[in-house]
Structure 1
C-alpha cells in the first residue's frame, strides 16, 4: 500500500510543487492534474468528487485531493490496491504540518519557503510510504522558517542555527530532546467509581397498627 506522489496545485490549476515520481513516467502526474482541472471545469458549483478515476495506457489509477486554503489543492495520484482513507489521512496530516510551519498556506508562502516544503515532503513521504509524521521529530530535522534563518542565509553565514545532529535520539518521538525537571515527581488524578446495590429498609411503627 503506497502513495505514488503528492502535487500542490495553484488556484489557476498549475502545479507549484510536487514530489519526484520515481516509479512512473513523466506524463503520469500531468494526467492526474489534467483530470482534476477537467473535472473542476465541468462542475457548475465548484464541487467535485474527492476521488477521481483516471484512465491511461498504463492502467487505471485514482486522484485523491483536498483543499489547502487560498484556492490551493493537494493532489495524491494512487494506483493499485490503496485505501482512500489512508491517502486522505496523509493529505490532512501534511496540510496540518504545512500550516504549523508556514502559518497561512498560500502561493506566496510556498514560494518563499520552497526549501522547507521540499524537506518536509522528503521526510514525511519515503517512496510512497509515510515516514516521519510527528511534528516534534520533524522540527528536529527540518527547521521552521524564521526571519533569523533568512538573514543568516542572505549573509552567507551557516552553522549558527541547524537541526539536531541526532534527531532520533529521543526514545519518545512526541517529546522534545533536552527537557529536564528539577523534581522527579509524577502526579495522578484519581476518579473513584462506586457501584453497589442498596436495599431499602422500611421501619414500621407497630404502635399505630
Structure 2
C-alpha cells in the first residue's frame, strides 16, 4: 500500500491553484481526467475514489475548492481521504475561511503546510497545534484601511486654490 503521489488544490472549474508532487510519478495533466470525470460530469452519484488510466483519484470538495490526491500505486484510499479531510481542517484553522481566494493569497503558507503534513506521499504531522510550532509564517489578512483624508501632495495643491474646498 502506498500514499499519494501528488496533491492538488483546484477551483470549481478544475483549474489547478496549487499542487505538490511528492514522488514525480504523475504529470500535472492528470487533472484533465479529473475535470472530465468529476467537474464536467452531470452524475449526482460521483464517487470520491475512481481509477482512470492506471491512476487512482481520491478527492473531496470543500467550499469552492476541490482537494485531490492521486497515485499510480495501490494506494490506501481511506488513508488518503482522511488526509484530505484533515488538510481541509488544518487550512480552516489557519485561514478561518477556506476558499480559492484565501489559498491564492496565502500560497506560501499553503505550500509549507503541504510539505510539513506529508512526506513522500505519507501523512506525517496533521495536528494544527504541532504544525504551528514548525511553521512560523503567518496567515495573510487582507485589510483595507479607510483613509481619513488624502495627503495634500496627492491633491495637487496649488497656491491660488483656497484650503478646504469640497
Q: Please indicate, yes or no, whether the TM-score normalized by the shorter chain is above 0.5.
A: yes
Secondary structure of 1:6's partner?
strand
Bigger share in strand = 2
C-alpha separation between the residues in 2 aligned to 1:111 and 1:76?
A: 19
Shift of 1:7: 0.2
Alignment-derived partner of residue 54 in structure 1? 52
TM-score by length of 1: 0.62
Counting matched residue pairs gives 140
Task: Point out where structure 1 has 5 or more consecutive residues left out of the alignment.
Answer: 148-209
Secondary structure of 2:21's partner?
coil
C-alpha separation between the residues in 2 aligned to 1:17 and 1:41?
A: 17
Deviations 1:156-207 (A, max 9, x none): xxxxxxxxxxxxxxxxxxxxxxxxxxxxxxxxxxxxxxxxxxxxxxxxxxxx
1:116 to 90, 109, 113: 109
Between 1 and 2, higher relative CO (CA 8 Å, sep ≥ 6) is seen in 2
Alignment-derived partner of residue 94 in structure 1? 87
Alignment-derived partner of residue 75 in structure 1? 68
Alignment-derived partner of residue 153 in structure 1? none
Secondary structure of 1:19's partner?
strand
Pairing 1:14–2:12 present: no
TM-score by length of 2: 0.76
C-alpha separation between the residues in 2 aligned to 1:21 and 1:29?
A: 12
Structure index of larger Rg: 1
Deviations 1:119-150 (A, max 9, x none): 00010011111111121110111134155xxx
